[in-house]
Chain A
Amino acid sequence: MSWTGRALPRLEDPTLLRGRGRYVADLAPGAAHVRFVRSPVARGRILGIEAPEGVRVYTAADLADVGQIRPVLERPDYVAVSQPVLAVDRVCFAGQAVAFVVADDAAAAEDLAERVFLDIEPEDPVVDLDAALRPGAIQTHPEAPGNVLVEGRMRTPGLDAAFAEAAAVIALDLRSRRQSAMPMETRGGVARYDTRDGRTTLHASVQMPHMLRTGLADLLGCPEAELRVIAPDVGGGFGQKMSLFPEYAALVWLARHVKRDVAWIEDRRENFLASAHSRDQAFTVRGAFDATGHLLGLEANLRSNVGAFSCYPVTCGVEPLMAFAELPGPYKVPEYGARSRGVTTNTCTMAPYRGVARPMLTLTMERLMESAARRLGLDPVEIRRRNLIDRFPHRSPTGLVHDEGSYIAAMEAAVAAVDVPAFRLRQAEARAKGRHLGLGLSVFSERTGYGTPAYAARGMAIVPGYEQVECSLDPSGHVELRIGASPHGQGLGTALAQLVADELGVEPGQVQVVSGDTDRTPYGWGTFASRSMVIAGGASRLASAKVAAKLRGVAARMMGATEAEIALEDGFARVRGTNRATPIREVARAAHHRSHLFADLEGGLRQSAFYDPFGTFSNACHVAQVEVDVETGGVRVERFLVVEDAGRLINPMIVDGQIHGGVAQGIANALYEEVVYDPDGNLLTASLADYLPPTIHEIPPIEILHMETISDATLTGAKGVGEGGTIGAPAAVVNAIVDALSPFGIEINEIPATPERIRAAIRSARDSRT
């Protein structure tokens, strides 16, 4: 029986459950603590930095030899901006690091930091997305006139004709308010200088350790060999821990400078102020439909507020260019025109957050379908049926190739599972009693597991995408799998161990997965973009298959059989159809210690593999059922159903866990979480009393059904599943709210749909009627 496909409890867990996990803050005791002094204003000129007497304050002048973070897209519509590690002359957002101090512990460092006086002459900032695009708006960076850092544009030739012949044109304005990925563990680093060899090891809570090392070496002007980056246990990332942050450069510089251990453990307020934000997006779209509900053309004006700087390495293009390329989603869009801009403002820098632009583009397409159905008098399921991609491979208007999926079938399965007719009865009964129930649908595709071609197409100067894996078998028959990917809580180690155990005929517990350490793992890109299982999984299979081939060769020789006759299973190399078997550990030992007998066999028990797939599309349908309290505007999500097609499930329990967590973050996006700045660019949501991740009380039971369309786009048959929950949930919840409030004829096109916004919509609907 194979390990793949089993809901194996995770190998990572016993350590974590006993409180023996090792997160970066656990490594800080004994190190000196760094505290950053941050700009209290959104925009201004630094006139001076006054150090309290006897206190060493580090400023940009100290870091004169350190480079600036300057991510690049090689495209004419991109304006590169540079972010200094510590602000030089000017500050560009409230929270930007201007200086730092060092003390024996965190409290003492905070005491010193609050005594540093930043003499900053404040200037009027630009904060709001659309305000930044107005003519004459204040410019965030002089090199970016109009505040546009990146712009994608395209228009198919037949778009005007599509609108000219449309029976109905639906126009929508959608807004997603700013969100924080808010991992439970904040950022942090401990940098240790080794006086023996002059190397510095940075332990940091990050998702891309190799990339971080490259970025740090470039900034510090040193060979990568002088640096080692280790991601220990990471308390969640969701994209927030992908980027090269200035704080890490400062920390490593300091460790090399003072030649001692130094730590920076971010506090929650700093995390809200200065880590990374996302999803501050405004989409204006028009859809042209024929009388039977077929979408003829789509025109979009997409704006993303990317904050003060561009995140490294993926750049500020990540939200606007994904929105531009993937807006059509799972739908056939014959004609397409779009303009998508990344807009810089005096706010915290945007970085990818689980789903990136897709929660908003899914909301857009799903609101479009709902609105068109209503306008044309069609059933909302039927209009989707007519427009969903139904032939594969499908080429989108932006050139994306969809491999085989189950777009329509997943929707049909979801609709059947929730029993829509029964719900409509309950809805009518409830309405008669003044209660407002609603059901909402969301269908989407999720581009996952994409390799270098996708990133190269974006014009990235640094092109991520492949993964490398090294697999070795020691003389005791245990496997070590060294991966360039860098899990941060998903359970990737367990799932990879299952794959490799099947190749090598051992138990998953005999597979040690090594990750997150640049000294011990091959160069790789880390974990993001729903890629790890697909790409690191594919590379793991390739590498372990090479080791398995060698094992079979040795075993065949030992037992006088041919390689083709050898099966590796249950810890034995068996000759098929016989009862001859040798324990794998004995084969391994022989391969290591009796190698002269197998000198003619190619390869060894240490193999590496490289995998760089083109990419694949997962797909899903979400259904939310809500009740809206029309007097308060409060929404309760009562039921949530997911029909997911992520291809082959390696560990179904882990897959479900990814969907659960994603849906919860999507519900948060739909109803609760919002980063708020005042007009002067001061952050108003710097605590968990004001920024509102949901508790168990706000998250309903989540039901999951699986479909498993196996396409040949990936080696393992698995498609990515890390982001889907987050992508689909907002649209399902919003559609459900709109359905609940259909007696009022209300549209909700802004998330989070807070109680206040819903009440305002109900009020204005009532006012316009009277």
Chain B
Amino acid sequence: MTDRLATTLDVNGRSYSVTVEPRKSLADALREDCGLTGTHLGCEHGVCGACTVIVDGKPVRSCLMFAVQAEGLAVRTVEGLAEGDELHPLQRHFWEQHGLQCGFCTPGFLMLVAGAFEADPTIDDAAMMEVLSSNLCRCTGYQNIAKAVSLALKDMRAGR
């Protein structure tokens, strides 16, 4: 085993000092060392997208990035999406539109869309639907995810 490295992760604006093996994925470090289990692992090879988080303003697969690589970068996870009691527009519309069933893929979808919007606030619905093809959901047939995202984008564009 190689030595563990002490590193600092900046997650949802909070600093976590962790000591991890270099091989530990960002996802595993978030879940095990930061106690943020909202980020899920569905495949660990970058296809399913359940582990999507935002790193430096862009949605990325946290299973394909090592925790040590995130040192000094701003990481955001589903736990940081709502502001206190107030749900993020994406969360609100996923709820109202029944955009989730088992909920396992949901954090990944939320961070995917939130991150893509942050990276490009002018993104239109059609382009966002292509972005949505990055993640897998097994329950919803994507119908209500698409509806929820369209409605949330309206709110997000309006700054609500």
Contact = CB atoms under 8 A, between A and B. Distances in A.
Contact of A17 (B39, B105, B106): B106
Nearest to A691: B47
B138 interface: yes
A661 to B, nearest CB: 5
A185 B102 contact: yes
A158 interface: no
Interface residue range, chain A: 35 or more
Contacts of A233: 102-103
Given A17-B110, A696-B133, A26 B37 contact: yes
A268 B48 CA distance: 10
A395 to B, nearest CB: 35
A657 interface: yes
Contacts of A638: none
B133 A17 contact: no
Nearest to A664: B141
Interface string A676-707: 00000000000111000101110101100000
A48 interface: no
Contact of A13 (B21, B23, B100, B104): B100
B91 A661 contact: no
Contacts of B101: 236, 489-491, 657, 661
A697 B36 CA distance: 30
Secondary structure of the A contact surface, majority rule = loop
A108 interface: yes
A583 interface: no
A23 B104 contact: yes
A665 interface: yes
A111 B139 CA distance: 34
B19 to A, nearest CB: 13
Contacts of A184: 40, 42, 48, 50, 102, 104-105, 136-139
A509 interface: no
A10 B97 CA distance: 10
B24 A107 contact: yes
B98 A654 contact: yes
A21 B103 contact: yes
B95 A661 contact: no
A13 B94 contact: yes
Interface in B49-81: 50, 77-79, 81
Interface string A265-286: 0011000000000000000000
Nearest to A667: B141
A519 to B, nearest CB: 23
Contact of B31 (A29, A182, A693, A697): A29
B32 interface: yes
Given A660-B141, A702-B141, A16 B45 contact: no
Contact of B102 (A9, A236, A268, A689): A236
B145 interface: yes
Contact of A19 (B43, B77, B144): B77
A25 interface: yes
Nearest to B91: A17
B129 interface: yes
Interface string B96-127: 10101111111100100000000000000000
Interface string A654-671: 101100111111000000
B115 to A, nearest CB: 15
Contact of A235 (B32, B38, B102, B141): B102
A19 B130 CA distance: 24
A619 to B, nearest CB: 20
A689 to B, nearest CB: 6
A490 B98 CA distance: 11
Interface residue range, chain B: 35 or more
A20 interface: yes
B87 A20 contact: no
A769 interface: no
Contacts of B95: 9-10, 13-14, 17
A235 B40 contact: yes
Nearest to A688: B47
A661 B98 contact: no
Contacts of A7: 98
Nearest to B146: A696
A687 B45 contact: yes
Contact of B107 (A9, A19, A22, A696): A19
A488 interface: yes
Contacts of A12: 103
B143 A182 contact: no
A696 B142 contact: yes
A702 B143 contact: yes
Interface string A693-733: 10111010110000000000000000000000100000000
A108 B95 CA distance: 39
A18 interface: yes
A163 interface: no
A653 interface: yes
Given A696-B145, A699-B141, A688 B45 contact: yes
Contact of A663 (B82, B133, B141): B141
A238 interface: yes
A183 interface: yes
22 contacts: A10-B95, A14-B87, A17-B78, A17-B94, A19-B39, A20-B38, A25-B37, A29-B32, A107-B21, A183-B104, A184-B42, A184-B139, A185-B42, A185-B102, A186-B42, A268-B43, A488-B102, A660-B144, A696-B146, A697-B130, A702-B141, A702-B143
Interface of A: 7, 9-10, 12-14, 16-23, 25-26, 29, 105, 107-108, 111, 182-186, 233-236, 238, 267-268, 488-491, 653-654, 656-657, 660-665, 687-689, 693, 695-697, 699, 701-702, 725
Interface of B: 1, 21, 23-24, 31-32, 35-45, 47-48, 50, 77-79, 81-82, 87, 91, 94-96, 98, 100-107, 110, 129-130, 132-146
Given A19-B78, A236-B102, 7 more contacts: A19-B36, A235-B42, A489-B104, A491-B101, A654-B98, A688-B48, A693-B136
Closest 6 CB pairs of A and B: A19-B38, A489-B102, A235-B104, A16-B103, A664-B141, A19-B78
